[in-house]
Amino acid sequence: QVQLVESGGGLVQAGGSLRLSCAASGLIVNFYNLGWFRQAPGKEREFVATISRDGGITSYADSGKGRFTISRDNAKKMVYLQMNSLKPEDTAVYYCAAQFYAKNDASRPVQYDYWGQGTQITVSS
């Protein structure tokens, strides 16, 4: 049974930082690209960042470039999202997801095979 479990969400003031973690189990992580998505109330789920299965390639949505950093530790089966200079518009439920490496377009939610349950981030102004 595949499980992705996020942690690290919470309430933070604008300008602050948070580090999200996602623990994967039940899958061979080396075969999967890992990504972070977010969904704000009334909005569609949107791409945040992705990292290739070996960690060599990362990609970010424009909204997070220069502020967010995605990383992974395959030995620990973990993926992380370091978020700095947080803004109120970053408020959302954040999800980690796994995409089999042979699939294309890591920015589209429909291309992902497994999802976590999400963790809430609220950024106060």
Q: What is the pLDDT of residue 16?
A: 98
User: What is residue 104's predicted lDDT score, i.e. its pLDDT?
Assistant: 85
**3 state SS of 41:** coil
**Residue 102 above 90 pLDDT?**
no
Report d(CA 6, CA 116) in Å as an integer: 6
Minimum mean pLDDT among 62-66, 87-91, 104-108, 115-119: which range?
104-108
Q: Is the Cβ–Cβ distance between 19 and 8 less than 8 Å?
A: yes
Joined tokens for residue 73: 């530790």
| The predicted structure's pLDDT at residue 58 | 97
Pairing of strands 119-124, 10-13: parallel
Q: Which residues pair with 124 in a beta bridge?
A: 13
